[in-house]
Amino acid sequence: MTERESAPKSTGPLRRIPRIHLIALACLLALLLYPVINPWEPYPQGVLLLGFLLAVQASAWNIISGYAGYVSIGHSMFLGLGAYTAGIMAVRWDVNPLLSAPVGGVVATVIAVAIGSVVLRTRGHAFVIITIAMLLAAQIIAVNARGLTLGSDGITLPLPFWGRDYQNIPFYYIFLVMVVLTVAFSAWLRRTKFGAGLVAIREDEGKAASIGVNTTRFKIVAYAASAFPIGVAGSVYAYYLTFINPVGSFAILGSVTIVLACLAGGRGTLYGPVLGAFVVNLVSEAANVYGGGDSARVLLFGLALMVVVLFLPRGLLPTVESWWRRRHPADVEFIDQKGALEARAARSGPDLPSPAVSRAARASDEAGAGRVLLEVRGASKRFGGLRAVDGADLTVRQGTITGLIGPNGSGKTTLFNLVTGGMTADAGEIWFDGRRIDRLRPWVRGHLGLGRTYQVTRLFKDMTVQENVVAPQPDARWRTMVAGAVRGHEAERARELLDIVGLARFADEPAGSLSFGQQKLVELAQVLMLEPKLILLDEPAGGVNPSMLGVLTGVIRELNAAGMTFLIVEHNIPLVLELCDPIVVFSRGRPIAEGPPGTIREDPAVMDAYLGEDFRLEPAGPAGPPAGEGVR
Amino acid sequence: MLTLTSVVAGYGGGMVLRGVDLHCAEGTITCVVGPNGAGKSTVLRVISGLLRCGEGEITMDGEPIGDRTPDEILRRGIAQVPQSRALFPTMSVHENVLMGGYLIRKDRALLRERLDMVRERVPIVAERARDHAGNLSGGQRRMVEIARCLMLDPKIILLDEPSLGLDPHSLAGVAGLIGDLHRSGTTVLLVEQNVRLGLGLATHGVVMEGGKVRMAGPAASIRDDPEIAALYLGGAPGTAPPPLPGGTAAPSDSQKGGAWTIGSRRPSHTGDRASPPMG
């Protein structure tokens, strides 16, 4: 029922342009026409022009601090760098201002890469502090490097080369074009795998690393990308001002204004920073004119920041959006369980889309099944006094579905973390596909073909289901990074993978709105995007409806038949006995038994540690395992 | 005791519950089953006040609670154990359990009494008292989560997938705990994907699909409905989706008392001792 209603909406050939783009286009037209209609009013043009400048900065800031979530409070440094680049080049070499603008952007980018590659290797708050420190350092350098910057005296730039009659109208259009370009750049970024990776970093950096996102590289590139437009704008702005000095160019108030604009408009959204920039700019101008000058402006900024944080924590645009959505609720999609089961029954044999398994298939061709793919040698991990993993050995052979069972707290999930790089082992070695991996970064292990899912799903809840599946980076190539996440080859593959787990209909829903069991299936599709050779599944059946378990095991079997190897932690013992061979039993941080399902079921040590004495209760047939009863 | 009448509710995107009618009588265990995303967890969230009820009415002992805040609802004796990640990971197990008694923090004697009761019922609370909750395994966390909600001695406990991530021992422990609660007069409403376990424990069953209640009645009648079994319970004669080796596709009645129904297994740490009445 819901399927029929919603199908034309999502797949119709005439994709409607979203309302918000139409509104933005109308605003742009109005701003383009304004100087033509009203050419003799320099004051409102000047106010708008400063609004454009702030919009460029806020949109650019949004790339590192909105998308990737790394807040920079020193971003006006790049404006100053751009301005000084233009100023120095004009004074020393008499360079044409139009040439120096891109150079200003390049200088800002180079400095950003230099700072970023030092600071952004770590996670967390160090970045915020360093950005402020860098802004202040830049000011001090500009004051003291008199030979280059003329110190506190500042640099006076030549007047623009156009006639006085044009007033500031050329600047007006230059800045307006820069707003359009910056927003377009930001929109393009957000629609690539790179953009999806940035949002992934914001939402869960550890998980992002485990799906092959080179978080260090992503953050540095994002920081550089956010510096470039501001650098260019700074060069143009220097010409507009015709005079620059260190205190004005590297002002902390400028940075605060950028942050405020973004927070007010909606951090992490496309148009929010632009909207916020205009609001903040108008308010600050009003404070200047009616409130009694600069000091009133600072006071007002403080108050405005408080109001935004208290009443609009998500910003104007997201608030309006959610209000709109409440007024116009969409139909909620539900799993068509009957349909899914019937479709499954109708399908016969493995018909998985080839890209899903290509690398695994290649791997199994190269060296036949049976060779050791993953080997853990004597791995240990302690938490305080607790030995979670205690000198464990584990071997997973190519082409198997290896089961890993054991009581709660026996170290199974910790072992997974050691293998995929979420934690480092205190001792021991881990070898994967002939390489020692225990000192490699998590994303490198992902690129080698190691993927995992989590016991408690760790999807990026604010991203759509499709973005979640597109986000993984199967290799370290730059080309993969800039591949489209909404359309194109990668997006196509993501939809195929969603089809496999029967959730294609949910592609455009935010992942957080899905139920737990659905999220589990999305996470499986997500890890398949890595083209893994070995998948570590942490309780894949937990929380999945029992009738859908057949679909799940079917998918696992098909992928396995196509060459993919699995290591599965699961408490649904009948499912494990049915699906896995061999089975490894863990207890107190190390394996206590290993073998085919039949042996494991009979092993007295296993009984004692895990299954419980009364497990040996056999059904009527002597050889059969306890049937369906336990298959949840 | 607890009644939902044509409840409509949803998150930002749209309405997940589209007119839910549900009734829990005093002293029963009601188990909600259904496909993933049918709105089962949402029902629990609406009852506990974490999600605003859009339309319809929720009453507890005849009093409407649909527009109350979560803490008011908690005071009325409705406690929820969420699906996952509900413990404070950097606090110790003991502190986590104490947080469950936040509403009664002023009554030291009662707090101590409840704490002793919880320690006795859920041994891990005493065994791992000083460990960070973040260092516990999935199953151990589950036990602590339930223990924490017992601190308020609730009239109704809402359990969202208590079996999630539990090994057979812990599963039996949790199931035994739910049985104990039932015997001591607590009403239980649980959502469970381990439907055999859930419906095995429950006195009443509810099948949800597409944001509505499709069927409700005694647990046994739901278990035995062939169409429901095929669609949501993971197999019935002829249609069992997960084929098992040996060709036995469906559980026969004789196997129901077998290894995987929890009622028949009582591990040592839960014991057979009669539990004291709570509170």
Q: Read off the pLDDT of residues B113-162 as tens digits, 9 standing for 90 and up.
A: 888 888 888 888 888 888 888 778 777 788 888 888 888 888 899 998 88
Residue A173 has pLDDT above 80, yes or no: yes
DSSP E strand boundaries for B65-221: 78-81, 156-160, 187-191, 204-209, 212-218
Sign, Cα dihedral of A540, A544, A547, A548: negative
* Token pair 């460029």 in the structure block, residue: A56
Q: What is the C-alpha to C-alpha distance for residues A172 and A50, in angstroms, rounded to an integer?
A: 9
Residue A237 has pLDDT above 80, yes or no: yes
Q: How confident is the model at residue A223 (pLDDT cuts 50, 70, 90)?
A: very high
What is the distance in angstroms between the Cα of A373 and the nearest Cα belonging to chain B? 27
Residues A381, A277, single domain; the answer is no
Which residue does chain A place closest to B16, by CA atoms? Answer: A332
What is the distance in angstroms between the Cα of B75 and the nearest Cα belonging to chain A? 28
Segment A372-377 shows an average pLDDT of 89
Residues A369, A321, single domain; the answer is no
- A237: Cα separation from own chain's centroid: 33
Among residues A296, A325, A354, which one ends one of the domains?
A325
Q: What is the C-alpha to C-alpha distance for residues A629 and B242, in angstroms, rounded to an integer?
A: 11
The answer for residues whose C-beta is within 8 angstroms of residue A80's C-beta and 6 or more apart is A138, A139, A142, A234, A244, A246, A249, A250
How many Cβ pairs closer than 8 A exist between chain A and B? 229
Contact yes or no for A558/A350 (Cβ under 8 A): yes
**Are B232 and A629 within 8 A, CB to CB?**
no
Please indicate whether residue A94 or residue A279 has the higher confidence score (pLDDT): A279
Residues A210, A350, single domain; the answer is no
Please indicate whether residue A624 or residue B88 has the higher confidence score (pLDDT): B88
CATH number for the domain spanning A579: value is 3.40.50.300
Selected residues 75-134 of chain B with any CB under 8 Å from a CB in chain A: 83-85, 131
Q: In what order do the strands lie in the sheet with A435-436?
A: A386-397, A372-383, A427-432, A435-436
What is the distance in angstroms between the Cα of A426 and the nearest Cα belonging to chain B? 16
Residue A100 has pLDDT above 50, yes or no: yes
Do β-strands A590-595 and A583-587 pair in parallel, antiparallel, or remain unpaired?
A: antiparallel
- Residue to mutate among A386, A547, A548, A606, with most B CBs inside 10 A, is A547
Residue A624 has pLDDT above 70, yes or no: no
Q: If phi over 0 gives left and psi between -120 and 50 gives alpha, with beta otherwise, what is residue B24?
A: beta
CA angle B199, B204, B208 (to 5 degrees): 75
- Determine, yes or no, domain membership for A75: yes
What is the distance in angstroms between the Cα of B175 and the nearest Cα belonging to chain A? 15
Residue A215 has pLDDT above 50, yes or no: yes
Q: Read off the pLDDT of residues A429-482 as tens digits, 9 standing for 90 and up.
A: 898 888 888 888 888 898 888 889 888 788 888 888 988 998 888 887 887 777
- Residue to mutate among B137, B166, B256, with most A CBs inside 10 A, is B137
Q: What is the C-alpha to C-alpha distance for residues A185 and A79, in angstroms, rounded to an integer?
A: 18
Contact yes or no for A226/A59 (Cβ under 8 A): no
**Residues of chain B found within 8 Å of residue A517, distances taken between Cβ atoms:** 36-37, 193
- Residue B162's identity, in one-letter code, is P
> Helices A193-203 and A169-190 meet at what angle, rounded to 10?
80
Task: Please give the residue range of the domain that contains residue A618.
Answer: 339-623
Residue in B13, B193, B250 closest to A545 by CB? B193
Q: Read off the pLDDT of residues B217-231 as tens digits, 9 standing for 90 and up.
A: 898 888 888 888 877
Residue A338 is predicted with a pLDDT of: 65
Q: If phi over 0 gives left and psi between -120 and 50 gives alpha, with beta otherwise, what is residue A191?
A: alpha
**Residues of chain A found within 8 Å of residue B51, distances taken between Cβ atoms:** none
Residue A8 is predicted with a pLDDT of: 40
Q: Read off the pLDDT of residues B200-211 as tens digits, 9 standing for 90 and up.
A: 889 999 998 888
Residues A460, A585, single domain; the answer is yes
Establish if B227 touches chain A: CB-CB under 8 angstroms.
no
Q: What is the C-alpha to C-alpha distance for residues A455 and B166, in angstroms, rounded to an integer?
A: 11
Exposed/middle/buried for B161, CB within 10 Å: 0-12, 13-18, 19+? buried
Q: What is the C-alpha to C-alpha distance for residues A146 and A143, in angstroms, rounded to an integer?
A: 7
Residue A136 has pLDDT above 80, yes or no: yes
For A568, how many CA atoms within 13 A lie in the half-sphere containing its CB? Answer: 30
DSSP E strand boundaries for A480-524: none
Contact yes or no for A372/B121 (Cβ under 8 A): no
Q: Domains of chain B by range and CATH? A: 2-86+155-264 (3.40.50.300)
**Residues of chain B found within 8 Å of residue A337, distances taken between Cβ atoms:** 35, 209, 231-232
**Are A409 and B140 within 8 A, CB to CB?**
yes
Residues A205, A354, single domain; the answer is no
For A16, how many CA atoms within 13 A lie in the half-sphere containing its CB? Answer: 7
Q: Read off the pLDDT of residues A460-474 as tens digits, 9 standing for 90 and up.
A: 888 889 889 988 888
What is the distance in angstroms between the Cα of B161 and the nearest Cα belonging to chain A? 7
Nearest to A273 by CA among A258, A290, A284, A291: A258
Residues A280, A418, single domain; the answer is no
**Domain total in chain A:** 2
Residues A319, A345, single domain; the answer is no
Percent of chain A exceeding pLDDT 70 equals 85
- Determine, yes or no, domain membership for A5: no
The answer for residues whose C-beta is within 8 angstroms of residue A393's C-beta and 6 or more apart is A376, A377, A378, A379, A590, A591
Q: What is the C-alpha to C-alpha distance for residues B20 and A493, in angstroms, rounded to an integer?
A: 38
Residues A241, A379, single domain; the answer is no
CA angle A592, A595, A597 (to 5 degrees): 115
* Token pair 């994709």 in the structure block, residue: A15
- Residue A298's identity, in one-letter code, is V
- Determine, yes or no, domain membership for A495: yes
* Token pair 């909750």 in the structure block, residue: B133
What is the distance in angstroms between the Cα of B159 and the nearest Cα belonging to chain A? 13
The answer for residues whose C-beta is within 8 angstroms of residue A341's C-beta and 6 or more apart is A547, A550, A551, B230, B231, B239, B241
Among residues A325, A348, A364, which one ends one of the domains?
A325
Residues A357, A298, single domain; the answer is no
Among residues A325, A354, A388, which one ends one of the domains?
A325
**Are A383 and B135 within 8 A, CB to CB?**
yes
Segment B5-29 shows an average pLDDT of 84
**Are A516 and B265 within 8 A, CB to CB?**
no
Residues A357, A294, single domain; the answer is no
Residues A104, A61, single domain; the answer is yes
Nearest to A591 by CA among A446, A375, A447: A375
- ipTM for this prediction: 0.70
Tokens representing A618 are 């056999």
**Are A631 and B11 within 8 A, CB to CB?**
no
Lowest mean pLDDT among A142-146, A529-533, B268-272: B268-272
- Determine, yes or no, domain membership for A388: yes
Contact yes or no for A610/B232 (Cβ under 8 A): no
**Are B193 and A337 within 8 A, CB to CB?**
no
CATH number for the domain spanning A265: value is 1.10.3470
**Are B85 and A456 within 8 A, CB to CB?**
yes
- Determine, yes or no, domain membership for A157: yes
Q: How confident is the model at residue A357 (pLDDT cuts 50, 70, 90)?
A: low
- Determine, yes or no, domain membership for A15: no
Residue A222 has pLDDT above 90, yes or no: yes
- Determine, yes or no, domain membership for A16: no
Residues A141, A278, single domain; the answer is yes
- Determine, yes or no, domain membership for A450: yes
**Residues of chain A found within 8 Å of residue B163, distances taken between Cβ atoms:** 632
Segment B39-45 shows an average pLDDT of 88
Q: What is the C-alpha to C-alpha distance for residues A296 and A288, in angstroms, rounded to an integer?
A: 7
Whole-model pTM: value is: 0.80
